[in-house]
Structure 1
Amino acid sequence: MNDYIEILVHSVNRLYGDISDGPEKPGNWQLIEELGILNLFLPEDLGGMDGGWQEASVILRLSGYHAIPLPVGETMIARKMAHEAGIEIPSGPLNLNDFVTGDMLMKYGAYLRTCQISGAILACLEKTVEYTRDRKQFGRQLSKFQAIQHQLALLTEEAAAVASASAAAAVALDRSDGNFEVSCAKLRANQAAGLVAGISHQLHGAIGITKEFGLYHHTQRLWAWRAEFGNNRYWAQRIGKHILGHSDNSAWALITSRGNQ
């Protein structure tokens, strides 16, 4: 992680932490505007950061981690699309549904949801680890039971897999079109979302489904995000088309060729 991204993580994490404690507080959107992250993709002469997808992925992932109920990622991407289309960049919060750009909209939206899913999964993992350490049954911490340890290991595996897939897709988006990598990342994130939500609630028991408890704020988003901007079937079909469209009709050949682009 370079120094610029470390500063970005620190600044966004601090701001999101304040917002997640009071999401309906007036002035929250203005605080986000003032931080400048909504213009991350824009050139510096337009007040932007001239950033790429690797920097954006940090902001998008933290949005999911903190369960931010504001369209931060949507606005970032919408302003990028407006600039690329040569139209006036709208002010205020934006929705991607306001744009009709076909495959490009699906790709950007899918990557947004992939990063948010990655962040929400990490939050679920941390909350579940903390809960099973604090909660005792039969005089032992829940985390000491082998069956619980196995479930926690599964959560950790899913968190690492989606984080890796989203990071690889960010590099591909900055380097080339990223079509294949985003397809793979969104499918992997979709698959992980349901599994992680299910395991997290299973280990939390009844308290996990209460609105007052933090877990619910993340799992309800996981269930929604996995269906938005392409479900499992949609992205599996896209991956199949990528492979069949490659000269060797081979998944391995496609993967290795993408690494050289």
Structure 2
Amino acid sequence: MTDNIFDGFERALLDLCPLDQLRVQESPEAAAILWQRIDALGYTDALVAERHGGAGLPLAQVQALLYIAGKSGLSLPLGETAVARALLADAGYRNDGSCIAMAKPLPLGGAEIICPDVPGAALVSRVLVNWRGEWLLLAREDAQALPGGYRRQASASLQWASADRALLVFSRPEADVESICNALHAAAMAGAMERILAITVEYAQDRHAFGKPIGKFQAVQQELAVLSEQACSAALAARMGCMSAGYLPDRLLAATAKLRASEAAARIAAIAHSVLGAIGITQEHPLGLFTARLHEWRATAGTELRCAKVLGQAILDDSQSTLFDFVRNRLSPSAAL
């Protein structure tokens, strides 16, 4: 893919997702129409192997599309759908054009499958769940649903009585839903942070106090500098987390990317809301939409604590390497290629 193709996707997505329509598009009816238009662009099959009719691109190249989706404010799980379609195509499932969420269930002992706070789950028709060593494709309409904690219209906590009504069951031992979501969410978070940076800088230039823009005050400039630094750091981490020759991410790189993105998200959300003040949390302003999504992604799949534990345990298990050697050899993007 070329930069021109990525630019074309960004232009199309920004046209389909104007800032003043983002809240409206979090309703199921509007989301269904939006998904038909996005799916028609053809990018959702970018990770599907060529033998199955897709583009066969690696995750490292598709990362830019995930970044753009986060930047545009897309409420639908584009990245999850792209990976899910690649997994399902390899399992022999025919693509039906559905938007698909991916979820990590709670480790319970009963037959129930409970997936808390699944991003975009209220707007999809299918959910791909990694449950007890198998992958299950489940219909969202078969689940009991509660509104999500961060996006009550768009996301949901889901519960299925059992796996008996799964549309497809297949095995893919090397595919880990937590690692997949870590990489996808880190990329989307980085894109959302770039948009938050742009919104905050624009407001600081337009808002006047004491006869000049507040962006001219040294204290505000310092805050904007930190915001920019954190956004750039998250973007680099997201690229690292998606560095893979296939469509499945490296577990440690994905955990590293999600940890850095989550740490940056907390600071960026706080700074942006401090600069905009009360207007940033109003229904009329889009900032709250982007920061709510950052917090939702932080709490989903691999949390900061979970990602830190994954990395820490990997370091402890590698008794033959020093910390410097571990970082150089295992947390280098070249290790995944």
**Normalized against structure 2, the TM-score is what?**
0.71
Greater helix content:
1
Task: State how 1:121-160 maps to structure 2 within 5 Å.
Answer: 121-160=193-232
Number of the residue aligned with 1:241: 313
Give the partner amino acid of 1:10: D
Preserved contact between residue 117 and residue 222 of structure 1 (Cα < 8 Å): yes
* Change over 3 Å in CA distance of 1:190–1:129 after alignment to 2: same
Bigger mean CA deviation after superposition, 91-100 or 209-218: 91-100
Indicate the percent of aligned positions where both proteins have the same amino acid: 30
1:9 maps to 2:6: yes
User: How far 1:248 moved relative to its partner?
Assistant: 2.9
User: How far 1:186 moved relative to its partner?
Assistant: 0.4
Cα shift readout 1:35-64 (whole Å, capped 9, x = no counterpart)? 111111112232211111122211111111
Number of the residue aligned with 1:96: 102
Give the partner amino acid of 1:100: N
Preserved contact between residue 183 and residue 249 of structure 2 (Cα < 8 Å): no
Number of the residue aligned with 1:19: 16
Task: State how 1:224-239 maps to structure 2 within 5 Å.
Answer: 224-239=296-311
**Secondary structure of 1:109 counterpart:** helix
Structure 2 unaligned runs (5+)? 104-127, 134-174
Number of the residue aligned with 2:142: none
Q: Distance in 2 between matches of 1:9 and 1:87?
A: 28
User: How far 1:250 moved relative to its partner?
Assistant: 2.8
Number of the residue aligned with 2:285: 213
User: How far 1:170 moved relative to its partner?
Assistant: 2.0
Give the partner amino acid of 2:62: A
Task: State how 1:36-185 maps to structure 2 within 5 Å.
Answer: 36-97=42-103, 98-100=128-130, 104-172=176-244, 174=246, 178-185=250-257
User: How far 1:81 moved relative to its partner?
Assistant: 1.9
User: How far 1:177 moved relative to its partner?
Assistant: 5.5
Q: Distance in 1 between matches of 2:310 and 2:95?
A: 31
Preserved contact between residue 204 and residue 215 of structure 2 (Cα < 8 Å): yes
Q: Distance in 1 between matches of 2:248 and 2:319?
A: 19
* Change over 3 Å in CA distance of 1:160–1:174 after alignment to 2: farther
Q: Provide the alpha-carbon RMSD of the alignment.
A: 2.1
Cα shift readout 1:10-35 (whole Å, capped 9, x = no counterpart)? 12212211221243276322222221
Q: Distance in 2 between matches of 1:12 and 1:55?
A: 13
Q: Distance in 2 between matches of 1:117 and 1:173?
A: 22
Greater strand content:
2
* Change over 3 Å in CA distance of 1:25–1:233 after alignment to 2: closer
**Normalized against structure 1, the TM-score is what?**
0.91
Give the partner amino acid of 2:2: I
